[in-house]
Amino acid sequence: MELPIMPTLWYGITTILILLFVRYYHIILIMLKTLPRDIRGVRGIIYLQTACIYTKLRNRTVFQVFDNVANKYPRKVCFYFEDEAWTFQQVQEYANRIANYFSKEGYKKGDKIAFIMENRPEYVAIWLGLSKIGVITSLININLRQESLKHALEILPHKGIIYEEKTASDALKEVMALGFKPLKLFCALKSTTDPTITRQENFIDLESELKKTSSKFDPEKHDRINFDDPLYYSFTSGTTGFPKAAIIKHSRFLFAGMSSIYVMGVKHSDIQYTPLPLYHTTAGMLGLGSVLFNGTSIVLRKKFSASQFWKDCIKYNVTVAQYIGETLRYLYSQPPSEYDRQHRVRKLFGLGLRRDLWIDFVDRFGINDIKELYGSTEGNCNMANLDSKPGSCGFIPRWAFPFMPYKLAKVTEEGEIVRDPKTGKVILCGVNEPGELIGKIYPRDPLRNFEGYSDKASTEKKILRDVVRKGDSFFRSGDLLMMDEFGYFYFKDRSGDTFRWKGENVSTQQVELVISKICDMADVAVYGVSIPLTEGKAGMAAVVDPDDKIDLKEFASEIIKRLPGYSRPLFIRKKKSLEFTSTHKIKKTDLQKEAFDIRIIQDPIYFLSGNEYIPLTEELFNSILNGKVRL
């Protein structure tokens, strides 16, 4: 007797489903377990993409979106800074004066101006105002000195420098002594309290000029600024050499800034605290996004202070704060106090918080909502940990990973990409296998494109071609990450010639160049070494000095003069020679493994203490390991 067709079909489908479940039950269980997380993530991305598509279709710019917010909330406080409170209307009017003044001075769309200033409300209002007339501002790290600063000022055809006297006057004097061709100088803030500062000659007092300038701006009298036009340049170390100028377009800033609203969940009613430098994208784009585009009030601070952090949060009723890993470790290292739980902070977002600190930090300060991010100034590999998974910097649903533009590529110890010898394609990593994060480049997508640097050669070095199929191109992040079976990503290390210290990326090649000049072109290898109880890696330099001719007192003086604090090698190792690869690259792997361990190293090692390098003794070595030495 034949079975009816429908029951037979039903039995067949049921059998196939059972077999599939038996074979893939583990993956199915993972997908079910992560479903709430994945839904939240997909929902946030949809909201973000919708908002950005709407902005793109209307050809909106950063300043246009901000002006709408300022017109809607003119009396609301935009910036809290020290004893000042700037409303959105005041910021808008200051920006308008900047636009009108520089337009009157002949500056127009496409012109470039260098900008050096500490965190303060004027910082944002100045680049915002310049953007209204299409002038592209170069946001320069205030720590750059001598050759590095000279390079940053010369890499682009700047038509002037806007600077804060206390922050930049002495640094500008130094680069002019190195042969830098003087540009038109606009002093935005003069110093009236520090008599030791050398005042520049022939500068324009921008403060005085703005008082005579109208606060009303008419966009119809100027060139049209578009969604895809450049907004400013952000300087990044990239992976090699001197700082590079990464192009930030209005479109990229809008995408990144809006993510703080739709992905991070920062609300209009929040008060946000940002003690991080505004010339970096963590504060300058993500931090400012909810302020400029959603009317959130923000508390600015010139520099991070562990002792003042919670006091500031209590004073201003802060509900959301930004961080990098180092700042949270500094907070945790402070003695317990009454301020640890008096604050109203409900959310933290930032990058660099490691698992070993995460849980203890939450237990002590009572903040359960921590949004850890991963991204870079110029890169297209961005992600976020939305459910406060300790140690994770982001996630991609397992079901979506094969379709995502992110991959983990296998690399050698020297940071070289590994390819299949037969096909030539890049070998990709599996689950729980560390590799370099790479992102496919989509030129039409502001978040997935790689705009590159002002230097085409540096841009090309960051592009990896023929990865999955011939003709494709991927951005190289330079970071080693690992993905677990649930789709969570974990930061492992930086590859290549860069390491991170004190919240800054350090280019080993740049430091090597400076040391080589100081030591009369001696061979030198610079690399990062891990130190217990600290974030990132400290700089260490192995210098060839077989005859012990290097005067460490003079060496320290030159290092301090030429390099910012985060780039200065904390350890110096004198060697008789260095080993090289067949391609004439210095072998650094063994040097990094040995680090500054005097128990296994026979070469003399010196430690930067204050303004001098002193011998690394066993007592000092143990004090560093135990965290007794302040770094």
At residue 58, the pLDDT reads 95
pLDDT of the residue at 242? 74
Residues linked to residue 220 through DSSP beta bridges, in sequence order: none
Mean pLDDT, residues 335-351: 94
From 373, 489, 399, 375, select the one nearest 38 (Cα to Cα): 399
Residue 158 confidence (pLDDT)? 95
- pLDDT given at position 47: 92
Q: What is the pLDDT of residues 34-81, one digit of tens each?
A: 898 999 888 998 999 899 899 999 999 999 999 999 999 999 999 999
Percent of the residues in the chain that have a pLDDT greater than 90, as a whole number: 57
Q: Which of 37-46, 120-129, 391-400, 575-584 has the lowest mean pLDDT?
A: 575-584
Q: Which residues contact 544 (CB under 8 A, 6 or more apart)?
A: 522, 523, 524, 575, 576, 577, 578
**Of residues 123 and 221, which shows the higher confidence score?**
123
C-alpha–C-alpha distance, residues 385 and 371, integer Å: 6
Q: Give the residue with greater pLDDT, 101 vs 562.
A: 101
pLDDT band at 12 (very low <50, low <70, confident <90, very high): low
The 3 state secondary structure assigned to 457-504 is HHHHHCEEECCCCCCCEEEEEEEEEEECCCCEEEEEEECCCEEEECCE
Q: What is the mean pLDDT of residues 174-181?
A: 88
Comparing 104-113, 354-363, 503-512, which segment has the lowest mean pLDDT?
A: 503-512
Which helix (H) or strand (E) segment holds residue 87: the answer is strand 84-87
Half-sphere exposure in the Cβ direction for 96 (13 Å, CA): 18
Q: Label residue 11 by pLDDT band (50, 70, 90).
A: low
pLDDT in tens, 553-599: 999 999 998 888 889 999 999 998 888 765 556 778 889 899 999 99
User: Are 237 and 499 a contacting pair, CB within 8 Å?
Assistant: no
What is the C-alpha separation between 511 and 73, in angstroms, rounded?
Answer: 47
CA separation, residue 359 to residues 158, 329, 514 (Å): 47, 12, 40
Average pLDDT, the chain: 89
Res. 120 pLDDT band, cuts 50 70 90: very high
Higher pLDDT, 127 or 243: 127
Q: Is the pLDDT of residue 497 over 60?
A: yes
- Whether the per-residue pLDDT at 508 is higher than 90: the answer is no
Contact predicate 293/245, CB 8 Å: no
- Mean pLDDT over residues 518-526, rounded? 83
The helix-helix angle for 165-177 and 146-154 (nearest 10°) equals 90
Is residue 365 pLDDT above 80, yes or no? yes
Among candidate residues 406, 407, 370, the one with its CA nearest the CA of residue 385: 370
Report the range out of 365-374, 397-406, 407-416 with the highest average pLDDT: 365-374
pLDDT at 1: 43
d(CA 268, CA 452): 33
Confidence of residue 16 (pLDDT cuts 50, 70, 90): low
Rounded CA gap, 199 and 197, in Å? 6
